[in-house]
Amino acid sequence: MLYRGRELTIAVVIIAGLMGIIAVGVFVADVDEAAPSPEPFDSVTTLGISQEDQRDAEHEDLSIPRVQVFYSQYEYVVGYYGVEQAVSTLDQPEHEQQFGYPLVVYVSNYGRTSVELTDEGYLTAETSTGWVDASDASFVVDSEARTPAGDAVVPFGTESAAAEFSSEYGGEVVDWAELRTRTFDVDSADIVRDGVDDQRAQADDRVDAVTPLLDREEVRTVEDGETIQEVIDDAPAGSTVNVEPGTYEETISIDKPLTLSGDDATIHGDGEGNVIEVRTDDVAIEGVHVEGVGNQTRDPDAATEDEDEDDWDANIESGYGHGDAGVHVVDASGVYIADVSIETPANGVLLRDAPDAVVDGIAVDGSEEWRDGFMGVMSMRSPGVVQNSTFDGGRDGVYLHRSHGTVIRDNEFYDSRFGVHLMHSSDSVIADNHARGHELAGLTIMTNPTHNAIVGNDVRESTHGILPAGSQSYVADNVVADNEYGITTSADQSLYEKNVVYDNDVGLRTGSILASNRVVQNDIIANDQHVDANIGPLRIWTFDGAGNYWDGAYGSSSGGVLDRSYSPTDPVQSQLHRTDGAVTLAESPAARGLSELRGTTPGLRSGSVIDTAPLAEPANPETLATLDEEQRSDSVEEGGDTS
């Protein structure tokens, strides 16, 4: 494998690190101090259900049981939405090593208010619940109570209040000690991983459902002297309108279920708006080239009279969902757009309130400068499938807004702001796409959704390769290479596994201040800097006795892992893959002592990552061999050294 070297004065780094230890010392909580008082929950760092679920619950005036924990070695108060989530987290391996032990745990006290359940079982509380020490609380488990995330454990300040709730809504009353012995089936990224195949199959079903639209038997052909619109107006519902080769200077509207099929046909709009508008279900468009699209990307006057102007996403609705498009689909389901090419200064395809749409095999040529264009596919409240397509230029290749459950697969994205951009969209799959040359990120997820899967993608030559947010997502089997930043682990409570992070300026970048992710079985190779870690507790990137494969890690192999831990944020170990002689320095007593202290002592954990069981062999050897060969070929073309 080809690794890049760099001259560094490591001895100075070691001395400075040791001096820092002497100056800082080891922080240990004063156990004799009085327990801290509860904090306002909006000021703590939270985990648990997604922000989307939190927002929906608040909008419906629902109540979610909450927990806040003061840890001995963590400077922030950690809040949990859901008692069961807190219990499960407290029992995770390495949790105490990362945060220290809990000084005090407070839970919501539903005994302080009148609490009821809605018809759906959601909790409602008349007033604020306040807080009670968990060790003094009683908990109702297995009742009818639930939250948007699932079944709920309900805490009370007194056993009598808990018993009263249990008598009305079922369940069992237990104390904190008993509750800690219970296991809960909490939402996790494992659920997302286990569901990816099902989501792929559901996408196949969506495609199969619309494919028959291309085989409608009755055919009307556009003859010389006719416009496409005239033939559409005369054609019966359920027929096909066939467009012969040529250029048609017009804009068209389809308000009945039919198929528009072209054969080397170009539809050229007037440059003032949409070229093809679809306003009904079960429409198919195939085989046409579209140009002459208007350049309006946003319509600030698009909000309708019945919309609540104070709605939190009203600006997105008006600003993003009403621009010009080559194919503009509104309030129509089951639309199939296949083998269509579009040249556009605005959107290629716009889907608004158009569920179960399939976009298949299209090519969108957007603006050369991303700030001047818009989306290849703009999907607003329109879950569907986007596949086998190419997006070149424009602002974003595919943009989702509240399009939960969309599958974006087997596409190519080039030279835009974002290749794929998810906003407020959960339960989606971004799979097997290629992304190159993106200004901000190849694939990004924003606004804290949940349960998204990013799998099997190849992302290169971008500022960020994969930049996810939200929670309980699954990022796996991707190749991120030649980016400024490979993968940012900013989606919390998520699983990052079996990715190849290769030859980036920074391979992995920690995002959340909470260490709630599992980062395992990844191959981290040839990056200038393997990991850039933000402030937070010690992050242990090992699970069930195995971690990741790092070039630079060394030791004796036993059971497929090395017998020496590896810290990519350690000032010496981070140089092992780049600097000759670093291993000798790493083995010095001073450096070994520094590494052990930084890696295992919570008081010295800020910005630290440690892998306690690095893999002895790559998890993806074939992929790495291909990347090495590509790099070797590039070096030959550039006249470089291949040794």
> What confidence score (pLDDT) does residue 247 get?
96
Q: What is the pLDDT of residue 91?
A: 82
pLDDT digit string (tens) for 376-434? Answer: 999 999 999 999 999 999 999 999 999 999 999 999 999 999 999 999 999 999 999 99
Partners of 380 in the β-ladder: 352, 401
The domain spans of the chain are 50-186
pLDDT of res. 118: 92
Exposed/middle/buried for residue 240 (C-beta within 10 Å: 0-12, 13-18, 19+): buried
Q: What average pLDDT does the structure give for the chain?
A: 87
Q: Give the count of beta carbons closer than 10 Å to the beta carbon of residue 468.
A: 28
Between residues 292 and 44, the one the model is more confident about: 292
Count the alpha carbons within 13 Å of 94 in the hemisphere toward its beta carbon.
21
DSSP letter string over 517-563? -EEES-EEES-SEEEE--SSSPEE--BTTB--EEBTB---EETTEES
Sign, CA torsion 140/143/147/152 = positive
d(CA 496, CA 473): 9
Per-residue model confidence (pLDDT) at position 608: 85
Query: pLDDT tens, 205-239?
Result: 999 999 999 999 999 999 988 999 999 999 999 99
pLDDT over 70, % of the chain: 84
Is residue 636 within 8 A of residue 568, CB to CB? The reply is: no
Tell me: the pLDDT tens digits for 10-64?
434 443 444 343 333 333 344 445 788 999 988 887 876 656 666 665 656 888 8
| pLDDT number for residue 68 | 96
pLDDT at 24: 36
Contact 52, 450 (CB under 8 A): yes
Q: What is the pTM of this model?
A: 0.85
Please give the average per-residue pLDDT across 246-275, as a whole number. Answer: 96
Determine which of 363-372, 442-451, 453-462, 533-542 has the lowest per-residue pLDDT on average: 533-542
More confident: 310 or 525: 525
- Residue 602: pLDDT band with limits 50, 70, 90: very low
Query: In the prediction, which pLDDT does 148 show?
Result: 77
Q: Is the pLDDT of residue 255 over 80?
A: yes
DSSP tag of 601:
-
**What number is the average pLDDT over the span 239-249?**
97
Task: Dump pLDDT digits (tens) for 571-585.
Answer: 888 888 887 655 655
Residue 197 has pLDDT above 70, yes or no: yes
479-530 confidence digits (pLDDT tens): 999 999 999 998 888 999 999 999 999 999 997 667 788 999 999 999 999 9
pLDDT at 97 exceeding the cut of 80: no
* Strand pairing report for 150-151 and 146-147: antiparallel
Question: With left for phi above 0 and alpha for psi between -120 and 50, is residue 383 left, alpha or beta?
Answer: beta
Distance CA 79, CA 57 (A): 17
pLDDT value of position 10: 40
589 — pLDDT class (breaks 50, 70, 90) = low
Residue 606 pLDDT greater than 90, yes or no: no
